[in-house]
A and B are shown apart, each in its own frame.
Chain A
């Protein structure tokens, strides 16, 4: 199988600072691949190496089985949507989009045909003669994408293209971009620090941290089985404890947290008593009960007080102030997400209510500290 893009142990240093170290991944053709990581983790540097603006110190970039070593940016079959868009302010929308074709010496007639077509596709059919500063943020965005698409690149590189838009437009453009990509079948390499963007749009995500890739997988895989504490905390919300495995009691392991809580998780053969571990529990995996009757079947169960409630439309987030069991004096805020069903008495817990919070052993995601 040939890949649209292969990165083979890419590294880049700036002086003594290692911006990208030993990054390898493959992108199959037609997929929407995201690189997700906090600001400053080397995403832009990685993208600039792929587009050719910056030479890797080590490693190789292969696009459709062709090594890109020594090939200049203007000769690579990729195009880039820049973080600040970089539209040419001295030209009209039409001229901006025609720029690449004119550089390729395409005939005037063909240029106007292709530009009109791509303008239609991004929904800017009437705006060809406008100046760049007459466009709204979302329109500029689309011109920047159209300017690349008209060249039919093998891979479209996008560097946080939604960063400059306001929230509402961003939500809209997320869906638009995904639709556009499905329609075109072009391979997209998308860079973002926003995990929700990555989760919504991507077919695969690579999570980056300090110049290295932490985990690559589908959005579901990253969300459900993160391989490192960083991924667990960065992708989606999580409640987090750190502690030590204290004993096995089949089919569970018991973990004593630093706060003195005793939590149960499913046993796995890789665990040993004394291992330092992180435990993550997704807010939506938590259950809440109030009133007299004790819930049964919850392996982990704690008493607490609802401290605040946030209504999100489809769901409702509760922050519950929980005292660890067994006389632990430390309390901790846990986030609990409940579906907001109509007439569901338990979902309408007001703040200040005493509740029991619990979850089953399967929902405790245990990761050994310092091991990938």
Chain B
């Protein structure tokens, strides 16, 4: 009797989780999957087929943007790692007490305003009549205002800025439980800073590095606002194409195919990253 009750209770506890998985993950994804294989043959008439994927491949504008977005996301992830690692190391190992928590809050600060506001902030600073140009002109460093917006480098900077926290947090966590005496031992055995970094610190931080990279890569790949607002027309982000298919062109089937491609490629890249670094997903995510 009790046992049966227990079973029911456990079932009840698992219910929200189950609902969450089914409603938020399985349902939308399978819908995406199904509709990506539907071809429009007439008004409201659909047929199974690979037409959407063909359409994607036949339009260079689409797949070029796609490749560009993936490459940019990879570069942005690596750049974020490069910026975040010293910051995380400083927070975890060098800073003490008040300074430490202050630095952490500083990393968190950008997230107190919404992404939209944050990006408008950047626009105010970077546009042709913006703050940066104002100062550069005042200092006589330039004579003509420069348009900083709508450049690849600006998009990159915006993406790094947005992603920094998601890289810093896992890195701080792993670096905090790096035993300092390991570094001293390395030093004692004749290892310089670079050797210690390469052979002790980075291998120790690997789970954090990989989980940070996965998060940042996913966030960047799926980013919409930063890429659109700071990038302008010249540097299109793939999410914009998807958005256009759904909202402007009203071609949900092609949009689904594009979304599904993005999902497949990002999953494949994450898998590749895990394989290359010899990490396990379950270890990285805990």
Contact = CB atoms under 8 A, between A and B. Distances in A.
Nearest to A103: B190
A87 B188 CA distance: 12
Interface in A135-156: 147-148, 151
Interface stretch (B75-83, B176-184, B221-229, B243-251): B176-184
A74 B184 contact: no
A99 B203 contact: no
A73 interface: yes
A88 B187 contact: no
B185 interface: yes
A148 B187 CA distance: 12
Contacts of A75: 190
Interface residues of A, number: 23
A74 B187 contact: yes
A151 B182 contact: no
Q: Residue among B179, B189, B190, B192 with the most chain A CB within 10 A?
A: B189
B224 to A, nearest CB: 39
Interface range on chain B: under 10, 10 to 19, 20 to 34, or 35 or more?
Answer: 10 to 19
B200 interface: yes
Contacts of B99: none
A111 interface: no
A84 B191 contact: no
Contacts of B192: 74, 103
B184 A147 contact: no
A86 B181 contact: yes
Nearest to A84: B181
B185 to A, nearest CB: 4
B184 A151 contact: no
A99 B188 contact: no
Given A104-B190, A151-B189, A88 B184 contact: no
A52 to B, nearest CB: 8
Contact of B184 (A53, A87, A99, A104): A53
Given A86-B182, A90-B204, 15 more contacts: A53-B188, A74-B189, A82-B185, A86-B184, A87-B185, A88-B182, A88-B185, A91-B199, A99-B186, A99-B189, A100-B190, A100-B191, A103-B190, A103-B195, A148-B189
